A and B are shown apart, each in its own frame.
Chain A
Amino acid sequence: MAEHLLEIEDLKGYYRGIFGVVRAVDDVSFTVDSGEVVGLVGESGCGKSTLAQLCSGSLTPLLHYESGKLLVGGSDIYKIDPEVLRTEIKCKLMSYIPQASMDSLNPVKRIRDFIMDVVTERTGKKTSTMDVLRGRNRKKTAKQEVLKMAGDHLERLGLDRSVLDRYPHELSGGMKQRVVIGISTLWNPKLLIIDEPTSALDVTTQRLVIKTLMNLKKEGVIESMLFISHDITVLGELCDRCGVMYGGKIVEVGSMNGILENPLHPYTQALISSVVSYNPRRMGKGGLKSIPGTPPDLRHPPHGCRFHPRCPFVMDICKTTEPPLRAPSLKTAENSGVVACWLWYR
């Protein structure tokens, strides 16, 4: 059994504001082992980005960690000293690339200055006045060393070293995304949590970015990856395992091929049959089905299974009792995953 790099148990994260309490992540359990690429898929508003934020420990203002265990490399990031989290875990053990992160590059700074900012923040070594008095030289060489390292790293990502001297507006979308990936993997983190890295990119650039990520993994810069996307076809290209989220819960986890070929949960089935996929051999007209109804309002999630108002196979038990996430008791063909649906255990 490989060691769990990321272990989540009964994690709850709610948004609290004047609008009430939004149960965006409710009782989620999930693991990422070292050496694997795990995908997380779901519609918008299902809580996948919230889960990623909770994993990273950097919460947006209204999001609150409620309860549950969240172990990154063995230490619970909500129990340890925030300073240790900031300097030791973030970026070094685990890196989080949020959605639209390529717009987070500072527009008035060159990439190299931005990298220096990040390095200062993460190492926690703010150059004190004394250091400056003792001589600028030492600081200068340290800076040059960092930049040399960063340049090497960017070259590994297929970017030119001269990118360091450019401003963000001079870079294309795919380059910016790769710069961001480069910055967040400067310390060779074991785990990379990456949220919708390619949704703003064209298909050709998307392929390039995914290739870059897989190369990083091959070269051992990162060990494992949690890749979040709304597009299950993209996940199919790179993931070993995949989790499906719906209404703040994980409804199914299984091997990627298992989920694509033999989905267990009715929601996963509906999601896959609604995906428009390109097929170079056959034209497919019609046959796509959309899921009737709308995703639940997570302020007042439905009782029982959260998918039951839209589910075609709804039973009485679904409306009252929440299904646990476990291996199906009914034998299915080659799907070793776990599923939260009453259909599968009788």
Chain B
Amino acid sequence: MDKILQCENLTKIYTSGLIRTTCCIAVKNVTFDVEKGEIVTLAGESGSGKTTVAKMILRLIKPTSGNVIFDGENAFSYNRREYYRRIQAIVQDPYSAYNPFYKVDRVLEEVFNLYKNGPSRAERKEIIHSTLKRIGINPEEILGRYPHQLSGGQLQRFLIARPLLINSELMVADEATSMLDASTRAGILNLLLYLKEKEKISVLFITHDIAQAQYISDRVLIMQHGEVVEQGPADEVFLHPSQPYTKELFDSVPQLNKKWEF
């Protein structure tokens, strides 16, 4: 299989202070790759550097050392527009991803600006309608509305339509479901699984919720204090964790059929 994304020894060190410099190692030597049509999960507690990795992949911050290689070339060598056409982010808070003064359509229409010579207006409308239908949104119900008129689940689904419109190859979903209710969360997770199957989109799924990670991922990386402590195929890691930290982490997850000892 082709590798869509490779991270080689990604390291990010934040420094502060001029004279007495203090360093904070946010991410240390993270190496992994994402294949085409695969969901890779980065899991870990808060402060473990998951989001920093995502930011480096999205070119929002520069790695201190190491490379992000997207489809065979260094991520930073791409033209910005082209890069963001091929890789898209889904953020945690769907409410703040929209401008409350504009209709939600704008979010979808603007994405076509990433093309140099984008499709015409009529074509855009056509693409938007067919894409929304494909992911189970009724376009008439949502288009033309303002963000406050829609629920969080609807807004998040709508944002997931964005990468589809421009045929992105990789979605970076940073805690994309953690603000949603259990009932809508399942819908989003299923949608991501569906996109993986049908559209062969790769997803880098970032979460602190082990249960979601188990549900969705093909491969998983467990991070702690900026380092990957365990990685491997999902069934192997979740069913037979080998590292003590991973075991402890999984032990703390509440389960439906087992009670904790107090």
Contact = CB atoms under 8 A, between A and B. Distances in A.
Interface of A: 43-44, 173, 202-207, 210-211, 214-215, 218, 230-234, 236-238, 260, 270-272, 274-286, 288-291, 294-295
B154 A44 contact: no
A230 B234 contact: no
B210 A203 contact: yes
A207 to B, nearest CB: 4
B234 A233 contact: no
Contacts of B182: 43, 230-232, 271, 274-276
Contact of B214 (A211, A214, A238, A278): A278
A205 B238 CA distance: 20
A275 B260 CA distance: 19
A296 B181 CA distance: 14
A277 B258 CA distance: 11
Contacts of A289: 186
A74 to B, nearest CB: 30
Contacts of A215: 262
Nearest to A218: B262
A258 to B, nearest CB: 13
A280 B239 contact: yes
Given A215-B262, A236-B254, A288 B189 contact: yes
Contacts of A43: 181-183
Given A230-B181, A290-B153, 16 more contacts: A203-B208, A210-B260, A215-B262, A231-B182, A236-B259, A260-B256, A271-B182, A272-B256, A274-B182, A275-B182, A275-B256, A278-B211, A278-B250, A280-B255, A284-B214, A291-B184
A322 B260 CA distance: 38
Given A275-B256, A276-B189, A290-B190, A283 B239 contact: yes
B181 A44 contact: yes
Interface of B: 45-46, 151, 153-154, 181-187, 189-190, 193, 208-212, 214-215, 234-235, 238-239, 248-250, 252-257, 259-260, 262
A277 B209 CA distance: 10
A217 B56 CA distance: 46
A233 B254 contact: yes
A274 B239 contact: no
Contacts of A233: 211, 254-256
A7 B237 CA distance: 47
Contact of B249 (A204, A260, A272): A204
A276 B182 CA distance: 8
A173 B47 CA distance: 12
Contacts of B151: 294-295
B209 A276 contact: yes
A207 B255 contact: no
A215 B260 CA distance: 13
B203 to A, nearest CB: 14
22 contacts: A202-B46, A202-B208, A203-B252, A203-B254, A204-B248, A204-B252, A211-B262, A231-B182, A233-B254, A236-B259, A237-B260, A260-B256, A276-B214, A278-B255, A281-B239, A283-B214, A283-B238, A284-B214, A286-B190, A288-B215, A291-B184, A295-B151
Contact of B45 (A204, A280, A283, A285): A204
A329 to B, nearest CB: 28
Given A207-B252, A207-B260, A215-B262, A290 B239 contact: no
Contact of B254 (A234, A282, A283): A234
